[in-house]
Amino acid sequence: MIAEILAVGTEILLGDIINTNAQYLAKELASLGISVYHQSVVGDNGERLKAALNLALSRADLVITTGGLGPTKDDLTKEFASEYFNKKLILDEDSLNAIKYYFKKMNIEINEGNKKQAYFPEGSTILKNDYGTAPGCIIDGNDKIVVLLPGPPREMKPMFENYVIPYLMKYQQGVLVSKVLRICGIGEGIMAERIGHIIDAQNNPTVAPYAKQNEAILRITAKADNEEEALNLIQPMEKDIRDILGEHVYGVGETSLEEEVGKVLIKNNLTISTAESCTGGLLAGRLINYPGISSVFMEGAITYSDEAKMRSVGVKKETLEAYGAVSSEVAAEMAEGIAKVAGTDIGISTTGIAGPGGATKDKPVGLVYIGLYINGSVKTKELNIPGDRQKVRDRSVTTAIDWLRRELNRL
C-alpha cells in the first residue's frame, strides 16, 4: 500500500508552525509497513486544496490529511473528499451532540460553523475526537482510502492511534513489529559506521538509524505471521548491535536518559543534588522530568556568580582566583559542595561558557566542565561543544546525565 500525507493550513506554508504531523504520521505508517512516497502542504485555498487532494489520490492508495476540519468557511477538506467519492455530506447526530457538550462545558454558545463539523460523507467511518471539536473520518471506496484528521497534534495523534491504526491493520499481511534502541554518547554517523555491516546485510529484520537531539535511535523492524515470531527475528540483531555499541545503548522504546537514571537512583535509594552555572537549572529540570524522583532528588542550586558559588556550595575563593569559574577544579568543588550542603549521596555540577560572549583565548565558547561527586570521590569531565548558546547548554545537560548513568552502572 502506497500512502501520501497532505497537510492543510496556510500557517504551515508561512512558517508560523512546524509540520510535526507529517513526521509523526510518516514514522507510524512505516511501522505499519505502509510506504510514503510523497508529503505535501497546501494552504487554506479551495482551488489549490482540491487540486492537491486529486493529485495525491492519483498516485497513492491511501491519503491522510491533517487540518481543514474546523468551523470556518475555508475549512473544506471534508467537502472536497466527499466530492471525489461522489458522496453527500450528512449530519451525524452523535457528533453534533458531542460538539454541543464540549461547548456547554465551557459555557460557550455553539454556532453554525461548529455544527458544520458534524457533517460527514455518507457511509464514512467517523473518528471520535476526545480532545477537541473536530471529529475525523475515513472514506473507503474505489480502491482508495482517505483519512481526514484534525490539525492540532494533541487531537490528531490519539485519533490516529486509537482509531486509524486498528482500521489499517486489516490491510496488512502478517504483522510488523518494531523495537527501538536508544543510544547516547556516540554520533549517528559513527554509530552507523560501526554497525554498517548489519545495515548492509539487512533484509528481515531491517534496521534504520535516526538522529535525535544529542542522541541517536535505531529502529529494528521485523515482519512475521505474529508478534512472537517477529520478536524472535529481532532478538539476534539486537544482540549483535548491543555487543558492538555496548553501554552507548541506554534504553529501549519510549524512554529517556532521565527516566533510566531516575529508576536506578530510586531503586538503590541514592539521593542526588545539583549545582549549575552555565546550564542555569536545565540539569535539575531534566532530572525532575521523571515522576517519583522527589524521593531522591533533594536540592538544586543555580550558582551563576562567583559569590553564589562560594556562598551556596562552598567553592573556595582561592580556587576561583587560581583557576577561574570555568575550570575542572571549580566543577569538582561545586559537585562535592552541593552534595555536602544537601546531604546527598551524589552531587553533579556544570560550569562553562555558553556564549556568545565571555570567551577568552584559553577558554572558548563551548568549553564546559562537569563535576560528579559519587561514592565518596569526585571526578570531572571537560567538554568542547560547538554551536549556539542553547545547543551548548542542552548538550552539556545530556552529557552530564549520560555520564551519571554510566557511573551508576559501575557501582
259 burial level (CB within 10 Å; 0-12, 13-18, 19+): middle
Looking at domain 257-410, its CATH architecture is Alpha-Beta Complex (3.90)
pLDDT score of 106 more than 90: no
**Assigned fold of 2-169:** Molybdenum Cofactor Biosythetic Enzyme; Chain A (3.40.980)
Residue range(s) in the chain whose domain bears CATH number 3.40.980.10: 2-169
Q: How far apart are CA 155 and CA 160, in angstroms?
A: 9
Q: What is the pLDDT of residues 23-43, one digit of tens each?
A: 999 988 877 878 899 999 999
Binned at pLDDT 50, 70 and 90, residue 8 comes out as very high
What pLDDT, on a 0 to 100 scale, did the predictor assign at position 86?
Answer: 94
Q: Among residues of the chain, what percentage have pLDDT more than 70?
A: 100
Which one has a higher pLDDT value, 324 or 171?
324
Residue range(s) in the chain whose domain bears CATH number 3.30.70.2860: 175-252
Question: Which CATH code of 3.30.70.2860, 3.30.565.10, 2.40.50.140, 3.30.43.10 fits the domain covering 175-252?
Answer: 3.30.70.2860
Residue range(s) in the chain whose domain bears CATH number 3.90.950.20: 257-410
Q: What is the pLDDT of residues 202-255, one digit of tens each?
A: 999 999 888 888 999 998 989 888 889 999 999 999 999 999 999 999 999 989
- pTM of this structure: 0.75
Which one has a higher pLDDT value, 73 or 346?
346
CB neighbours of residue 216 within 10 Å: 22
Binned at pLDDT 50, 70 and 90, residue 319 comes out as very high
Who's near 352: CB < 8 A, 6+ residues apart?
277, 278, 279, 326, 366, 367, 368, 369, 383, 392, 396
